[in-house]
């Protein structure tokens, strides 16, 4: 018997599609973000605002529903290893491959606006940046604050899912004792 919830699959696909478009749009809106286009304008901001109230709630709803269905079918150990096997690889990929170029351009943009004294002596090459990024030795600060590295930036959602999964594993034995009438 196939218990696959295709409705949840499609909600997840739509939600992530909107999330990708939203993050592409952040490059072009006038709001503060990591890296900005020189052609930023307020033209697409109404479309961006349209998804703000519900896009992350939808992602958490889908993730929670998927976890609920998984935890009913598996032991705590199997559920934990299945979820960690799905969550850690994309988080690590993002932190060490996808996010560093964004952080690099963010630091370059900040250096252009407020160059530190050492910038002339030690130019920020990609290799130099990445080594400082992964070893948390960057110390990149400006008037808006500091960029702490390595960072997960927009992958905070996945980091939260890892924490929520661990909390669910701890709470699942208690939740199973609650009469079904209270869970409906």
Q: Give me the pLDDT at residue 93, please.
A: 96
pLDDT at 97 over 60: yes
Distances (CA, A) of 147 to 41, 107, 151, 166: 25, 8, 8, 28
- Per-residue pLDDT averaged across 73-92, rounded? 94
More confident residue, 138 or 90: 90
pLDDT reading at 165 higher than 80: yes
For residue 147, give the 3-state DSSP assignment: strand
Q: Report pTM.
A: 0.76
d(CA 130, CA 141): 17
Mean pLDDT, rounded, for 151-173: 91
- Please say whether the beta carbons of 34 and 153 come within 8 A: yes
Residues 6+ apart with CB under 8 A from 31: 45
CB 95 within 8 A of CB 152: yes
**DSSP state, 119?**
G
Query: Which residues are paired to 145 by β-bridges?
Result: 142
> ∠51-150-84 over CA atoms, to 5°?
70
Give me the percent of the chain exceeding a pLDDT of 90: 36
Residue 148 has pLDDT above 80, yes or no: yes
pLDDT in tens, 15-33: 889 988 998 999 899 988 8
Evaluate whether 145 touches 90 at the Cβ level (below 8 Å).
no
Instruction: Output 137 or 180, whichever has higher pLDDT.
Output: 137
Q: Is the pLDDT confidence value at 92 over 70? A: yes
- pLDDT averaged over every residue in the chain: 85
Buried/exposed code over 39-69 (b: 16+ C-beta within 10 A; e: otherwise): ebeeeeeeebeebeeebeebbeebbeebbee
């Amino acid at each position: 018997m196939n218990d696959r919830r295709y409705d949840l699959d499609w909600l997840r696909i739509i939600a992530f599609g909107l999330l990708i478009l939203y993050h592409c749009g952040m490059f072009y809106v006038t709001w503060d973000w990591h890296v900005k286009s020189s052609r930023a304008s307020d033209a697409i901001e109404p479309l961006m605002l349209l998804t703000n109230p519900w896009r992350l709630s939808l992602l958490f709803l889908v993730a929670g529903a998927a976890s609920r269905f998984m935890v009913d079918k598996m032991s705590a150990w199997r559920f934990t290893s299945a979820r960690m096997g799905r969550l850690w690889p994309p988080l690590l990929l993002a932190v060490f491959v996808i996010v560093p170029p964004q952080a690099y351009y963010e630091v370059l943009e900040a250096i252009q606006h407020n160059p530190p004294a050492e910038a002339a002596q030690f130019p920020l090459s990609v290799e130099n940046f990445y080594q400082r990024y992964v070893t948390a030795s960057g110390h990149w600060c400006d008037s808006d604050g500091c960029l702490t590295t390595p960072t997960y930036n927009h992958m905070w959602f996945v980091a939260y899912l890892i924490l929520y999964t661990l909390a669910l594993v701890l709470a699942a034995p208690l939740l199973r004792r609650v009469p079904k009438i209270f869970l409906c």
